[in-house]
C-alpha cells in the first residue's frame, strides 16, 4: 500500500479566530530526577526540548476547550445562536457515551439546532478537524463552525515510563470558521496507514480489551495495559517516511498561487523530530515554529497552541500563509495551507481545577 498524497481543495472557508487554554498546574521535567536520574533526565530535556508541561489535576479535555471557546466567543463578540456546527476532536473524551460534543453544546449555551459530534483523533487531529469543518462549510451544510480540539494525555501516561513521562502536556483549543465566498482556497492532504496502529496505543479500556487482559505492551514496573505505549523508533521512522512527501505535495499545490509560505506549523512532537524534518526537507529554520519548552507535546492541540504561543500572549491578529501538518498515532497524517487574514488569536487562558464539570 502506498500514499498518493491526493490534494483535496476546499473553497469558501475563512478561519476567524483561535483560542487556547492550559491547566494551571505546571510540572518541571527536572522533578523526574529522583525517578530516572539527573543525567538521564537532562538528556531527555536536551533531545526533546521540553523543560516543563502544564498538566491537569481533575480537569478533562472538555473543560480546557470550554475555557478556550468562551474566551474566543467573547473576544470576537460572536452570537452563539449563529454557531450551527460543533466538532470536538480528542482521544481523551469525558465518557464512553454520550459524545462529549453533546455535553459541550449545553455547557457553551449553543442552540439545539447545533450539529455536534466527536472525532477520536490524535496528532493529526487538528488538521483533520479543519478539513471536516471546512468541508461542511464549503458544501453548504454549515455556515459557522466551532472546532474544539484538546487532549489530556497526562492522564494515560505512566510516571515510571521514561519514554513518555517527560514529554506530554495537556491543552484545549477553540477555532471558529465561517463560510465566506471571498476566502482563499485551502488545499488539504490526508492519509492513513493502520499498519502502525499498535506502535502508539493504549490497548486496554475500550471494547476490544475492556478488562485489561492484554499484555503485549505491559512492562513490569514501567507501564500497564491502561497506560500509553509508544514505540519511539517506529514513530520516528514513520514520520521521516511520510511527512516530507506530505509537505512536498502541499508545496506543489501552493506553487500555482505564486505565494510563499510564511510559517510552517507542524505537530509539536519534540525538538529532535522537528529538527530532523527541517534538515530532511531543507526548510528555512526561521520559518518553522517550535514551541515545546514550556508545554511539551500536547497531542492534537499542539498546532493551534504553537500558533498561539508564537503570536504571543497579549492577543492580536495574525496574517500570513501557514502550512499546518499533523502526524502520528494511527498512523495518520494531515496537512493544509491556510491563508490567515487578520485571524484573531486570543490571549492564552490558564484554567483551574475548579473549572472541571461533572455530569450529574
pLDDT in tens, the chain (360 residues): 445 789 999 999 999 999 999 999 999 999 999 999 999 999 999 999 999 999 999 999 999 999 999 999 999 999 999 999 999 999 999 999 999 999 999 999 999 999 999 999 999 999 999 999 999 999 999 999 999 999 999 999 999 999 999 999 999 999 999 999 999 999 999 999 999 999 999 999 999 999 989 898 999 999 999 999 999 999 999 999 999 999 999 999 999 888 999 999 999 999 999 999 999 999 999 999 999 999 999 999 999 999 999 876 557 999 999 999 999 999 999 999 999 999 999 999 999 877 666 543
Q: How far apart are CA 155 and CA 147, in angstroms?
A: 23
Percent of the chain exceeding pLDDT 90 equals 92
Three cell numbers, residue 304: 493551534
Of 246, 163, 171, 162, give the one whose Cα is nearest residue 200.
163
* CATH 3.40.47.10 assigned to 7-355: yes
pTM > 0.85: yes or no: yes
Of 98, 200, 214, give the one whose Cα is nearest residue 156.
200
Residues 6+ positions from 148 with CB-CB distance below 8 Å:
62, 65, 68, 69, 86, 87, 88, 89, 101, 104, 172, 173, 174
pLDDT in tens, 100-113: 999 999 999 999 99
Cell 497579549 identifies what position? 314
Per-residue CA distances from 214 to 131, 201, 226, 277 (Å): 34, 12, 9, 34
Domain locations in the chain as residue ranges:
7-355
Amino acid at each position: 500500500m502506498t500514499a498518493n498524497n491526493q490534494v483535496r481543495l476546499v473553497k469558501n472557508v475563512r478561519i476567524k479566530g483561535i483560542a487556547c487554554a492550559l491547566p494551571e498546574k505546571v510540572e518541571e521535567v527536572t522533578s523526574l530526577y529522583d525517578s530516572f536520574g539527573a543525567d538521564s533526565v537532562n538528556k531527555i530535556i536536551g533531545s526533546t526540548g521540553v523543560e516543563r508541561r502544564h498538566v491537569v489535576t481533575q480537569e478533562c479535555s472538555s473543560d480546557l476547550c470550554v475555557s478556550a471557546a468562551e474566551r474566543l466567543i467573547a473576544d470576537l463578540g460572536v452570537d452563539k445562536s449563529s454557531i450551527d456546527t460543533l466538532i470536538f476532536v480528542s482521544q481523551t473524551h469525558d465518557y464512553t457515551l454520550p459524545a462529549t460534543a453533546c455535553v459541550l453544546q449545553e455547557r457553551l449555551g449553543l442552540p439545539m439546532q447545533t450539529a455536534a459530534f466527536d472525532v477520536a483523533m490524535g496528532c493529526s487531529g487538528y488538521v483533520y478537524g479543519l478539513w471536516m469543518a471546512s468541508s461542511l462549510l464549503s458544501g453548504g451544510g454549515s455556515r459557522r463552525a466551532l472546532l474544539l480540539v484538546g487532549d489530556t494525555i497526562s492522564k494515560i501516561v505512566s510516571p515510571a515510563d521514561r519514554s513518555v513521562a517527560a514529554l506530554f502536556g495537556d491543552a484545549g483549543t477553540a477555532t471558529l470558521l465561517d463560510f465566506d465566498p471571498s476566502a482563499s482556497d485551502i488545499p488539504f492532504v490526508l492519509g492513513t496507514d493502520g499498519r502502525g496502529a499498535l506502535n502508539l496505543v493504549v490497548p486496554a479500556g475500550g471494547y476490544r480489551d475492556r478488562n485489561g487482559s492484554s499484555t503485549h505492551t505491559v512492562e513490569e514496573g514501567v507501564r500497564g495495559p491502561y497506560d500509553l505505549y509508544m514505540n519511539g523508533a517506529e514513530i520516528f521512522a514513520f514520520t521521516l517516511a511520510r511527512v516530507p512527501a506530505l509537505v512536498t505535495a502541499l508545496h506543489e499545490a501552493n506553487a500555482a498561487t505564486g505565494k510563499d509560505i510564511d510559517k510552517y506549523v507542524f505537530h509539536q512532537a519534540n525538538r529532535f523530530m522537528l529538527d530532523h524534518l527541517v534538515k530532511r526537507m531543507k526548510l528555512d529554520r526561521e520559518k518553522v515554529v517550535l514551541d515545546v519548552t514550556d508545554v511539551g507535546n500536547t497531542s492534537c492541540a499542539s498546532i493551534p497552541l504553537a500558533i498561539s504561543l508564537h503570536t504571543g500572549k497579549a492577543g492580536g491578529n495574525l496574517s500570513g500563509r501557514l502550512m499546518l501538518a499533523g502526524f502520528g498515532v494511527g498512523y495518520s497524517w494531515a496537512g493544509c495551507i491556510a491563508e490567515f487574514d487578520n485571524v484573531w488569536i486570543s490571549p492564552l487562558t490558564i484554567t483551574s481545577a475548579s473549572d472541571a464539570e461533572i455530569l450529574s
